[in-house]
Amino acid sequence: MSSGLIDLVGYVAERAGRRHPGRQTSVEYQRPYRPLPVALANRLGRALERFGIRARLEEDSLVAAARKETGLSDLGDDVALRRRLRILLQSLNDEARLHPVGRLMARQNIIRLLTNRLRIEDALKREPRISQTTLEPPVFIAGLQRTGTTLLHRLMSCDTDFRYLAAWEAINPAPLTGRGNGANDPRIRAAELAQLGLRYLAPDFFAIHPIDAQGPEEDCLLFDFDFFGQVPEATQRVSRFSAWLEHQDHAPAYRFIENVLRYLQFQRPGGHWLLKTPQHLENLDSLLEVFPQARIIQTHRDPVTTLASLCSMLCHARGVFSDHIDVREVAGHWLAKTARMIECSMYVRNKTGRGKFLDVSYYDLAADPLAEIRRIYDWLGKELNERTVSVMRQHLNHNPRHKYGVHRYGMEQFGLDEDKVERLFAEYRRRFGIPRE
């Protein structure tokens, strides 16, 4: 991708999707924002579909495309991986109601996942030093969505003693051509283009969850390369796939992640891994089986507020791929999913020593971020030097709340019953002393 084209796409994205502080996000979830060129492309796509011409979401076609692009054939645990892929594709084809451009994006995304998987497996076989790479005990941030995990993750990532997962390497863990080459790594340009593309397709999304191509990103994206992640159900309606995945053993997924972390550290060395995704709450037992020395920070916030905020974010995300957003289906699915995540995490915590977990209140973090950071560092037995504090202050100054606009949402928009939510999370609220907003 040439620098000139990146600049052109960036200009178009900024012009089409510009948001200012104070601008409020849309709550017309059933009418997703659609740039005119995308709307026209969808119209053309629907006309072609009447003649049987459409982007193919078929297992053999996707695997063949990835193998052709890379010249590689080994996907690792081929039988199990392809079974997960097959079930995901069934959900995408039967449930997701993707518009033509969304279907094309889904196809290209799965090919990206498969090409990376092929390159990862090839690298692990060719370079024995990867498996010999030592991983220091990682730190995981594992709160529910919308509880301050991103703020905490990005603040702690200011410390160069931590090794965070950058967005560009989360999108493509494997170098696109040979080895990565620092600031000129083509994966960075690819991530910048993806960032600009999302801003063009869903400009409101950045007011809800800003994305930085070179900044820290969630490791939930790494699970996608093993088709074990929550990203599909966050961006598309794939209820059957997510329900099936809940009943699978996730320890193999964490062993895969361990190999990917070694591979990334082999490419770009660093200190203790600092990782973050709410998905970990659902599988803390598997996490601790594979990373027994891990330390886990869990953030907490009023579940009534966080659930409404989450549903709004997910409706905006689904609107990128589909014209059919059922807000009540989104709310029902993620109410059950969130309750499951809390139930699973509390079960593991009840049978695990307290020393592995530290609880952080969203309200304390929002009121005095650096005070909470100092408390966390004390718990980790780690020194917080003034240089790192200065960088953290700069980050806070440069990223004020509502920088990209004001996120609007409310329970009533999703048909959520506040009393039902309170009953579901009563024990969680009591145990961690979570106030009502």
Give the CATH number of the domain where residue 198 resides.
3.40.50.300
Q: What pLDDT, in 10s, does the model give residues 50-94?
A: 999 999 899 999 999 999 999 999 999 999 999 999 999 999 999
Q: Mean pLDDT throughout 104-130?
A: 97
Nearest to 348 by CA among 291, 284, 295, 424: 284
Report the distance separating Cα 246 and Cα 229, nearest Å.
Answer: 10
In a domain, 272, yes or no: yes
Average pLDDT, the chain: 93
Say what the pLDDT of residue 10 is: 47
Unique residue bearing structure tokens 């999703």: 414
Candidate from 163-172, 250-259, 398-407 with smallest mean pLDDT: 398-407
pTM above 0.85, yes or no: yes
Q: Mean pLDDT throughout 288-300?
A: 98
In a domain, 16, yes or no: no
pLDDT at 313 over 80: yes
Report the distance separating Cα 28 and Cα 319, nearest Å.
Answer: 10
Q: What pLDDT, in 10s, does the model give residues 170-184?
A: 999 999 875 566 778
In a domain, 178, yes or no: yes
In the chain, % of residues over pLDDT 90 = 90
pLDDT at 159 over 70: yes
Say what the pLDDT of residue 237 is: 98
In a domain, 111, yes or no: no
Q: What pLDDT, in 10s, does the model give residues 184-237?
A: 899 999 999 999 999 999 999 999 998 999 999 999 999 999 999 999 999 999
Say what the pLDDT of residue 183 is: 73
pLDDT at 19 over 90: no
Report the distance separating Cα 360 and Cα 392, nearest Å.
Answer: 18
Q: What pLDDT, in 10s, does the model give residues 360-406?
A: 999 999 999 999 999 999 999 999 999 999 999 999 999 998 888 99
In a domain, 78, yes or no: no
User: For residue 8, what pLDDT band results from cuts at 50, 70 and 90?
Assistant: very low
In a domain, 262, yes or no: yes
In a domain, 109, yes or no: no
- Distance linking the first and last C-alpha atoms of the chain: 46
What does the radius of gyration of the chain's CA atoms come to, in whole angstroms? 21
Say what the pLDDT of residue 22 is: 58
pLDDT at 13 over 70: no
**Domain of 241, in residue numbers:** 3-11+21-33+137-432
Structurally, how many domains does the chain consist of?
A: 1
In a domain, 40, yes or no: no
Strand order in the sheet with 272-276: 162-164, 272-276, 139-141, 295-300, 357-361
Report residue 50 CA to chain centroid gap.
35
